[in-house]
Structure 1
């Protein structure tokens, strides 16, 4: 293992290149790009392969899928429309899209942009449907939202909602007169001077582009499907490089102003995006609360914001520590990328900012608590069904994935994992092949209904 000594200088590129090489190999990550922005300095490192099957090496210009980090980009353009007076955070979005029909008429009448940006709308979030490759894909997707169920009452809790961001994409189209892809390019990529940020596969093919990988160790191979369906664009289809993701991040660190002085977003809107809108029922997954697009978190007495992304065999991680003018972006295409993130980011923020990353959640020692009966049962939402059962002296969660796109990967449709208590109603589970535990929280809404919160999604108990 490479010596984890302090870098020779605050941003020692050779040191972080060595750390990336070693850690990616240790966690079986085929290829990864790392970018660190500290003050006015940006360094890049890259390791491994963009495509293992084709033996194509990754470079600093390789495009990776940034997945749901896309949501913050979509949120930025939407907030720009709020600045222009074309859109309101707190007026019903049906005023912009009068044809909108959701499965609940009251939700249709009342849901706002603030609900959509903060994942509190209640619209079941993992509705992935292929509505074609045409420029009308989001229009068709919006029509299909009438089929989608409701996870929870409007504003009652937080549940991660891809569907809501695709709806925001359609709102952007209606107000700008451009397709979402074109609106993003005109209103964000071009003002930022980005040359390696795209959404469509025909544009990605102009560059060296990473493919996702499944499996572990020597069994890893490229996934059979490169990208998500086009109608998922506003929620997760941007492809980019660490350097260009950090250029977007600098826009927010500068309160809406690009490097050349162009204002893309008002300072008030930039600040509002990172202001808490709702606490998470499970404050151990990603962050403790959510803003308007950004995930908010606390590390060692400091406040950070950021976002993660997962697509088919690719994972992305972005964290911003404004106190230290520090941003870190990691883009990967397989393996235990979450463990790679945890190891690297812990070292980076401690070395460059003196901040200690919170330790991963671990189960408590001791037997299963006696009062687990209320947790047993079936929890279900769009694409995922979870059964919590007791087997002897252990709790088991049986997760059935009915739409693989909802999990951002193509794996076994049924996963069984043990649930172990941390404290109270907070448990952890660990899926096969991964090092770190995933928090699972049992809780009730104000109306008394039972929910399970895992993967930042609220899943109601149905039986």
Structure 2
């Protein structure tokens, strides 16, 4: 669950109410979820798994997840501007998420995720508090008063490699117990990102140097800002060269998309890969509760080959500078997948689809 290899369909945003039993109800309903890949067979970001972990915390501590994380983490770290519930956010200068870009940028009509998805994405914090959390992992698990909140071996285990990523370009090259792992200029960097409804957050730590950098945004081309800002900061403060984002060559490569044509689907999204007159396209269609919650609309992008392998492509949203990788691959059993947006999505309809 911690390293996102469970295979549980990861974007199930069931709203089971505001009661203290919301996670219990969510986990009961999660039994109905599909398995998008066999246990441990590949890596796919899984929000649902973290809600399940939140329920584990409740069972172990005898408290609600909100109370447990407050007492076990927020209070010892003196995080005075970190909360999990919307009514707590009202007590602080809280930014509202924005959807769209450019002249179409507008406040999101939805504040945040349901309480039942809290362990996956309802923590709201100031930049200073995010850095205070990062300091815990730069000091072998010690709090601001020197208290050992997390053992040194456990802190190291969280940053150690647990899983390789089928797409080593979008996030990092591997995953630990929670942390993303990046290889920048021969140095090992750890971190994590967060994207909810019009909100994007970035955190990177350079173990052994005492350096942590965070960026919290509430709209626009956040990925482009992250690339520009973190590249400059890490180069100037640590002489670390951030990895260059993946991009296709200027001249289009004559690569056939034929082996990958079809429909790939899991909870929350349907990805349609098509080709016409020699031009491939990716159509990303939000579905179900995810479409309602994130106010998603279908988006269609031209696909550009990155190399001659025939499996690595990229798309770029209108107005953005940063390309988004699209990786086609097979599991050991031959099942076909596309990795896009940090998720593994199986082929369900096409020339080589199962069934």
TM-score where L is the length of structure 1: 0.73
1:219/1:451 Cα in 2 relative to 1: closer, same or farther (>3 Å)? Answer: closer
Question: 1:150 — aligned with what?
Answer: 35
1:385/1:183 Cα in 2 relative to 1: closer, same or farther (>3 Å)? Answer: same
Residue 139 of structure 1: how far off its partner (Å): 0.3
Partner of residue 446 from structure 1, selected from 317, 332, 335: 332
Partner of residue 427 from structure 1, selected from 298, 313, 316: 313
1:415 partnered with 2:299: yes
Answer whether contact 2:110 2:293 (CA < 8 A) is retained. Answer: no
1:404/1:324 Cα in 2 relative to 1: closer, same or farther (>3 Å)? Answer: farther
Answer whether contact 2:252 2:304 (CA < 8 A) is retained. Answer: no
**Structure 2 CA distance for aligned equivalents of residues 241 and 367 of structure 1:** 43
* Runs ≥4 residues deviating over 3 A: 365-371, 403-409
SS in 2 for 1:462: strand
Answer whether contact 1:360 1:436 (CA < 8 A) is retained. Answer: yes
Q: Kindly report which structure 2 residues correspond to 1:452-463, keeping only aligned pairs within 5 A, or say none.
A: 452-463=338-349
Partner of residue 177 from structure 2, selected from 276, 289, 292: 292
Answer whether contact 1:380 1:462 (CA < 8 A) is retained. Answer: yes
**Structure 1 CA distance for aligned equivalents of residues 292 and 162 of structure 2:** 25
Question: 1:221 — aligned with what?
Answer: 106
Question: 1:369 — aligned with what?
Answer: 254
Partner of residue 271 from structure 2, selected from 358, 363, 386: 386
**Structure 2 CA distance for aligned equivalents of residues 172 and 299 of structure 1:** 34
Residue 368 of structure 1: how far off its partner (Å): 4.5
**Structure 1 CA distance for aligned equivalents of residues 343 and 104 of structure 2:** 31
1:198 partnered with 2:75: no
**Structure 2 CA distance for aligned equivalents of residues 334 and 261 of structure 1:** 37
Q: Kindly report which structure 2 residues correspond to 1:338-349, keeping only aligned pairs within 5 A, or say none.
A: 338-349=223-234
Residue 323 of structure 1: how far off its partner (Å): 3.8
**Uncovered stretches (5+) of structure 1, i.e. residues with no partner:** 1-115
Residue 456 of structure 1: how far off its partner (Å): 1.3
Partner of residue 216 from structure 2, selected from 331, 335, 359: 331
Answer whether contact 1:276 1:290 (CA < 8 A) is retained. Answer: yes
More helix by share: 1
Answer whether contact 1:368 1:393 (CA < 8 A) is retained. Answer: no
1:303 partnered with 2:180: no
Q: CA RMSD in A?
A: 1.4
Answer whether contact 1:304 1:320 (CA < 8 A) is retained. Answer: yes
**Structure 1 CA distance for aligned equivalents of residues 159 and 144 of structure 2:** 20
Question: 2:352 — aligned with what?
Answer: none
**Structure 2 CA distance for aligned equivalents of residues 174 and 237 of structure 1:** 20
SS in 2 for 1:416: strand
Residue 433 of structure 1: how far off its partner (Å): 3.6
SS in 1 for 2:76: helix
Single out whichever of 418-427 and 398-407 deviates more from structure 2: 398-407
1:293/1:221 Cα in 2 relative to 1: closer, same or farther (>3 Å)? Answer: same
The number of residue pairs the alignment matches comes to 347
Q: Deviations over 1:59-85 (max 9, x none)?
A: xxxxxxxxxxxxxxxxxxxxxxxxxxx
Partner of residue 152 from structure 2, selected from 267, 270, 291: 267
Greater relative contact order structure (CA < 8 Å, 6+ sep): 1
